[in-house]
Amino acid sequence: AQTVTQSQPEMSVQEAETVTLSCTYDTSESNYYLFWYKQPPSRQMILVIRQEAYKQQNATENRFSVNFQKAAKSFSLKISDSQLGDTAMYFCAFWDSGGYQKVTFGTGTKLQVIP
């Protein structure tokens, strides 16, 4: 079974600074997808960024980018120019694209952006 580990339960960052959230996973699959989701206090889970395992290029969405290291099974999220609205829980997710297409979430990292 796949496992997803987020080793930082809580983090804080000053507004306008850069922060990196870590995520590691364990799988024997070669084809899969990785996601970062954001859950602000309003509780709506929002997709932040996605990465396809067969693509070597790291995904980028505006201020959000990932560092995908397939061999190391690492998928970290970098938030640049942090804004107060980035305060939220961040979840890393692994999606097995095989027959059963199961999704596994990490335990989350609570990010606080400090003004």
User: Which residues contact other proteins by CB under 8 A?
Assistant: 32-33, 35, 37, 42-47, 50, 52, 91, 93, 95-97, 100-108
Q: How far is the CB of 75 from other proteins (least distance, A)?
A: 14
What is the Rg, in whole angstroms, of the alpha carbon atoms belonging to the chain? 14
Q: Report the residue number, 19 or 34, with the smaller CB distance to other proteins.
A: 34
* Residues contacting residue 32 through CB under 8 Å, at least 6 positions apart: 53, 94, 95, 96, 97
User: How far is residue 15's CA from residue 47's CA, in Å, rounded to a whole number?
Assistant: 22
Q: How far is the CB of 45 from other proteins (least distance, A)?
A: 4
Task: Give the three-state DSSP class for 58.
Answer: coil
Cβ–Cβ contacts within 10 Å for residue 57, how many? 8
Which residue type, as a one-letter code, is found at position 24?
T
Q: How far is the CB of 86 from other proteins (least distance, A)?
A: 18
Take residue 2 and report the two structure tokens written for it: 């796949």
Q: Report the residue number, 82 or 92, with the smaller CB distance to other proteins.
A: 92
Q: How far is the CB of 108 from other proteins (least distance, A)?
A: 6
